[in-house]
Amino acid sequence: MDLMIQTLARELGRTEEHVGNVVKLIDEGATIPFIARYRKELHGSMDDQLLRTLADRLQYLRNLDARKTEVKGSIENQGKLTEELAAAIDSAATLAEVEDLYRPYKQKRRTRATVAKEKGLEPLADLAFAFGPPVNMEEAARDYIDPEKGVETVEDALQGASDIIAERISDDADIRKELRELYLRRAMLVSRAADKEPEDTVYRLYYDFKQPVSRVQGYQVLAVNRGEREDVLKVSVELDPETAHIAVRRAVVPNRAAMDFVRSAADDAYDRLIQPSMEREIRNTLTDQANEGAIHMFALNLKPLLMQPPVKGKVTMGLDPGYRMGCKVAVVDPTGKVLDTTVVYPTHGPRQKEECIVKLSALIKKHGVEHIAIGNGTASRETEQMTVELIRRVGGSVSYMIVSEAGASVYSASKLAAEEFPQFDVNLRSAVSIARRLQDPLAELVKIDPKAIGVGQYQHDMPQARLGETLDGVVEDCVNAVGVDANTASPSLLQRVSGLTASTAKNLVKYREENGAFTTRKQLLKVPKLGPKAFEQCAGFIRVPESKSVLDNTGVHPESYGAAEQLLAACGYTLEDVKTGNIGELKEKAEAIGYEDLSQTCGAGAPTLADIVKELSKPGRDPRDELPPPILRTDVMEAKDLKPGMELQGTVRNVIDFGVFVDIGVHQDGLVHISKLPRRVKHPSELLSVGDVITVWVVEVDEKKKRISLTMKKP
């Protein structure tokens, strides 16, 4: 364990003490959000992302350690484990190195070398492979001719000896390590069209593609992999054979008793055994790296999407557009409660469109609708045009926003939606979800499998367990960063809170339904199966606005209430001042005294006290309110209205390896290529996140191909 902690500390650039504390907390069952927020003194204020990286690496190192023990045990059972080999296995830094060392001792299926050994040819191979004076292999081979064993000629004997040497060379861990590094430095990833006269497909860029393995981009790897699976591309990893042969010969040929014979066996070892294996390994390595990169991008895009500022306190109408089945409509109150539903048919002709406008105008007036959320799927464009006309008719007092409906159909057909809205059919549930996505994106999107939200590339090609685990971590971090109201939160939201499970979340909702609203955080301990450990993990993230104690509606953990009151007293304030908002200079006064000095008085660390000051300054604050508000529109443009050089405001919808897609209010997102960003970056995520509101200029519009090119560089 000490060695693991040293390795993690070195890789992450942190002290062994801090890393050791995190490992101990994880092993005790603490969640990452809890550790990140409430144990800063123990880990030196690492953020949640670094803590998750630490947890992932810890799991890898533990798996590596377990595999080393397994491999050593297997070799020892064969009576072949030497001190030198055990030391080499112990010092291996990766699973690949461990497997290389284990390769000669693995149970193999029958190979050419196995057959040659059964024929008694291993001594002949040993003779050729030994260091010493030259030997005449043809003469030596005559002694091994034995028709009964299937060795009828000198050539048979020599071929068998060569097969044994080739397998020996192929199983050499040092040779494989050197070749692996050579491939990573100098090999090329090559893809070609599978057909001689290929059709024009999305893979046309890869019909004659060649890129160094060291520089190939993750999205290119994923694209050629998919093209290969669809039989459109043929893909290979190519390295100059002579370069590889020289590397293998240099490692095994010098000073052997039969150098020419061993050289020939070495070339055979590379061509027949090592090269196919190395190509598979490099392809797997590139795919694993591309998957990790794509999953990282998903996580980067998902976080700002979930953390989009809510449009609170407004009656909202959700429109789920459609052609044949019509446009589904749901009106919800400021808390998301459904007030009304209907179905209209704006795309079925002028008469139906007029009926739709009249019907929706009546709903707007009846319920005081202020915002309209339109799903961005099928028939969205026509619905948006109808909405603009509707807004003009009702006097312009309403604004609208196009909302991503990714995953809405998945949610509306789910068991969860059926439990929440048993009285509505699947389509109307989707309209409710779209309305609520505008009101509070986080509370609504947590009901959907994060993989269905669609903020990345090639999500269906990813290792689904790894993708799910990463995205669940992002959702967990977002929910806990915002905090959850104990008296209004749904079970879906509550189960994402640190320390709570699906079962305890349901128990909590059931408890408040049976006993009325929570009035203190301590009441959470009365919820069945929510014990002291779960309370410790969740309490700081759950808000109780109805509590008499203002601290119960902040991110201050109950364990720090005493420290909070002492801090207030030291700065000349009381809890009543926090409640009335008469606490404007708390931060300045705390900084004037100094957090280190205050920590002696209050019995809490400086990072914790700084967090307490932040929470007390704005009790019940929502960190999303500090972000730029979403763009709400009252008018619509079409692609044909766009002209090169036109300046527009837009919202970033997706960040990918080669650029960002931006919603500029024309139903179709435009692309800012990475080369059109305001400054040079390795990846667009260095500059932009999903939800960012940016200024762009139109470069080109291709209506036929439905492409809009944008730039962030002022013309």
Q: Which residue has the higher pLDDT, 108 or 244?
A: 244
Query: Taking 70 as the threshold, does the pLDDT of residue 569 lie above it?
Result: yes
Q: Please write the tens of the pLDDT for every residue from 177-208.
A: 999 999 999 999 999 999 988 888 889 999 99
**Structural domains of the chain, with CATH:** 2-105 (1.10.10.650), 119-298 (1.10.3500.10), 316-448 (3.30.420.140), 512-625 (1.10.150.310), 639-711 (2.40.50.140)
CA–CA separation, 442 vs 310, rounded Å? 8
CA–CA separation, 434 vs 472, rounded Å? 21
Instruction: Give the side-chain half-sphere CA count within 13 A for 62.
Output: 9
Helix, strand, or coil (residue 655) = strand
Helix H or strand E segment including 695: strand 693-702
Q: Of 1-5, 42-46, 47-51, 63-67, which range is least confident?
A: 1-5
Angle at 264 between CA 263 and CA 268, to 5 degrees: 115
CA–CA separation, 305 vs 308, rounded Å? 5
As a whole number, mean pLDDT of residues 500-510 equals 96
- Residue carrying structure tokens 């193999």: 108
What average pLDDT does the chain have?
Answer: 92
Per-residue 3-state assignment (H helix, E strand, C coil) for 530-566: CCHHHHHHHHHHEECCCCCCHHHHCCCCHHHHHHHHH
Q: Among candidates 481, 440, 482, which has minimal Cα distance to 311?
A: 440
Q: What is the pLDDT of residue 132?
A: 87
Q: What percent of the chain has pLDDT over 70?
A: 99
Q: Among candidates 278, 209, 202, 273, which has minimal Cα distance to 239?
A: 278
As a whole number, mean pLDDT of residues 512-529 equals 95
DSSP result, 128-195:
HHSBSS---HHHHHHTT-BGGGTB-SHHHHHHHHHHHHHHHHHT-HHHHHHHHHHHHHH-EEEEEESS
Q: What is the pLDDT of residue 273?
A: 96
How confident is residue 417, by pLDDT bands cut at 50, 70 and 90?
A: confident
Helix, strand, or coil (residue 332) = strand
Q: What is the pLDDT of residue 414?
A: 85
DSSP 309: P
CA–CA separation, 309 vs 91, rounded Å? 49
Query: Taking 80 as the threshold, does the pLDDT of residue 638 lie above it?
Result: no
Total length of the chain = 715
How confident is residue 76, by pLDDT bands cut at 50, 70 and 90?
A: very high
Give the tokens for residue 252. 């095994």
Q: What is the pLDDT of residue 457?
A: 66
As a whole number, mean pLDDT of residues 587-613 equals 93
CA–CA separation, 444 vs 490, rounded Å? 9
CA–CA separation, 433 vs 425, rounded Å? 13
Q: Which residues pair with 327 in a beta bridge?
A: 344
Q: What is the pLDDT of residue 454?
A: 65
Residues 6+ apart with CB under 8 A from 476: 31, 32, 33, 496, 498
Query: Taking 70 as the threshold, does the pLDDT of residue 636 lie above it?
Result: no
How confident is residue 22, by pLDDT bands cut at 50, 70 and 90?
A: very high
* Dihedral sign for Cα atoms in the order 427, 431, 434, 439: negative
Query: Taking 70 as the threshold, does the pLDDT of residue 456 lie above it?
Result: no
pTM confidence score: 0.80
CA–CA separation, 657 vs 304, rounded Å? 17
Q: Please write the tens of the pLDDT for every residue from 96-122.
A: 999 999 999 988 888 999 999 999 999
Q: Among candidates 239, 251, 240, which has minimal Cα distance to 177?
A: 251
Give the tokens for residue 226. 């998919």
- Residue carrying structure tokens 């762009």: 696
Q: Please write the tens of the pLDDT for every residue from 344-386.
A: 999 999 999 999 999 999 999 999 999 999 998 888 888 988 9
Q: What is the pLDDT of residue 625?
A: 80
CA–CA separation, 308 vs 347, rounded Å? 31
Give the tokens for residue 582. 């008469």
Calculate the CA dihedral of residues 514, 517, 523, 527 and round it to 10 degrees: 30
CA–CA separation, 444 vs 421, rounded Å? 14
Q: Please write the tens of the pLDDT for every residue from 674-715.
A: 999 999 998 899 999 888 889 999 999 988 778 899 999 988
Q: Please write the tens of the pLDDT for every residue from 253-295.
A: 988 999 999 999 999 999 999 999 999 999 999 999 999 988 8
Query: Taking 90 as the threshold, does the pLDDT of residue 66 lie above it?
Result: yes
Give the tokens for residue 678. 């305001």
Query: Taking 70 as the threshold, does the pLDDT of residue 406 lie above it?
Result: yes
Q: How far is CA 380 from CA 156, 341, 579, in A?
A: 74, 19, 46
Q: What is the pLDDT of residue 637?
A: 67
Q: Which residues pair with 209 in a beta bridge?
A: 191
Helix, strand, or coil (residue 501) = coil
Q: Of 82-91, 624-633, 675-684, which range is least confident?
A: 624-633
CA–CA separation, 394 vs 400, rounded Å? 13
Q: What is the pLDDT of residue 593?
A: 93
Helix, strand, or coil (residue 459) = helix
Q: What stretches of 230-307 show up as alpha helix (H) in DSSP?
A: 241-252, 259-268, 275-306
Residues 6+ apart with CB under 8 A from 546: 487, 517, 518, 519
Q: What is the pLDDT of residue 36?
A: 96
Q: What is the pLDDT of residue 189?
A: 98
